[in-house]
Structures are given as structure tokens and as C-alpha cells.
Amino acid sequence: MKNPVFRENVIIITGASLGIGRQLALLLAEYGAWLALSSRNIEKLNEVSELCLQRGGRVIVIPTDVADQTMCQNLIECTVKEYGRIDTLINNAGLGMASRFDELQDLVVFEKVFRVNFYGCVYCTYYALPYLKRTRGRVVGISSLRGKFPSAIADAYGPSKHAMAGFLDCLRVELAGSGVSVTTIFPGWVSTGISSRALNVDGSLTSKLSIHEKNAMPVDKCARKIIKAIANRKREVVMTYQAKFGLWARLLIPGLVDQIAHKGTELK
């Protein structure tokens, strides 16, 4: 079986019912991983679980809203009860937002996105960390290029991904010498349908695919890059060459990067 690193590796994946999380689960099942899959969507989570079993993985399903600290604690405890340990935590659950900050009537939606994208990562990592120290395991966060660059609207998605990346950077330094690695992934647009599930100013779904998501990176390609990075305990992975160039451009000509970000919103 390919990638023996993950054979019988106990892996928790949040947001495993759709998109990147779903594809990670399917691929890791083929590698013989022991999976704990979580999501709010129980029906789709069960579908993914069945596919993973067919691919040779061992699977348990633990319905979880990562915005709820108690449910995150339960996710960790149920995983340890089933498998006896945790080797890898993949903080993948995420929620998009599509509204300007100055359009908000209150901060309810803003806070909701932050609880999922940032605090969901913090909660799960907090409860998993004692077990990961015992196995010299891996902490993984699926951020976004919007965790590296500004965007033209100050919705909660970009700031929450910046916060997630900052937390994981600090955690990496804190855990130096512990044997626990911390890997942060910065994908660009990936064909997952996330833009159609983003929240409008009133909390409703956009139900519309962004033009940026059309012809985006296939989810299978993205998931394989992530798995390779996790296996090699990479510090971080910026998915596209354009983004890597953009990081240098932001240091040298930040105004141009701001202009590009603003222009990008005009294409939506």
C-alpha cells in the first residue's frame, strides 16, 4: 500500500463530509489509516465513512460542530476510546463568508465564521495535544491563501484564516523539541463548492459558485499535496506558484498586492 506512514495511523479529520476533508478521508483510507471523521452533516459523513471502509480504512463517525467546545472535547475523547491514541489531527472544517464588513447589521455571522475557522482549530488542538505529545504526532491546519494575503472585503473568512495560521505558527515554536510537528496548508481556489456554501450578511447561503472557483485546482490534486506535506512534516505549504511570487511582491510592492486583491472582487 502506498504511503506506509499512514498505515494504522489514527487520524482525526474535521469537516470530513465535503470538499478537501472528504477527499483526504478517501485517500487516507486507501493508505490503511484509522480514521475519526467529524462534521455537522451526519448523512454525508456516513456516506464518506462507507466509501472509506470500502477502500480498506478503519472508520468511526463522530458528528461534531467544531464551533462547540464541548463537542470538540467529545470528538477527541471518542477517538481515544475507540483507538487508544491519536497520531494526527487535521483541522479542516471551515466556513466561508461573502459580505462587506460595513454591510453587517450585527456581528452574529462574523463571530460564527470565526468560531468555526479559528476556535474550532483551537478547541480540537487543545484537547488532542496531550495525546499527540505521547505519539510524537502531527497537528495540521487547512488555512487558505486568504490567511496570507489581504482581500478587498473585511469579512470574517480572511481574518479567521490569518488567526488560525498565527496560532499554528506560535504552537510550532512552543512545541519545538516535543516531537509534535505543526503543518499549515495554504490552498488557493479548489473545486469544492465552498463559495456556494458561504454565508451572506443575513446568514443565508450564497448558493452561487464564485467565478474564482470555476476551473480551480481539482480537489484530488489538492488533497494529495496535503498528504505529502503531512507525511514529510512540512512547516507550511503555499499551493500555487503565483501565491509564492505574491508573498515576495507583498514585501516589496504591497500597494500592488492591494490593487490586485481589490480587482479580484470585481470579478465575482
Query: So which residues are the catalytic ones?
Result: 157
Residues 6+ apart with CB under 8 A from 251: none
**Pick from 155, 128, 153: which is nearest to 139 by CA?**
128
Q: Coil, strand, or helix at residue 114?
A: helix
DSSP state of 116: I
Nearest-10 Cα torsion for 76, 77, 81, 82: -30
Residues 6+ apart with CB under 8 A from 154: 100, 101
Cα 217 to Cα 222: distance, rounded to the nearest angstrom: 7
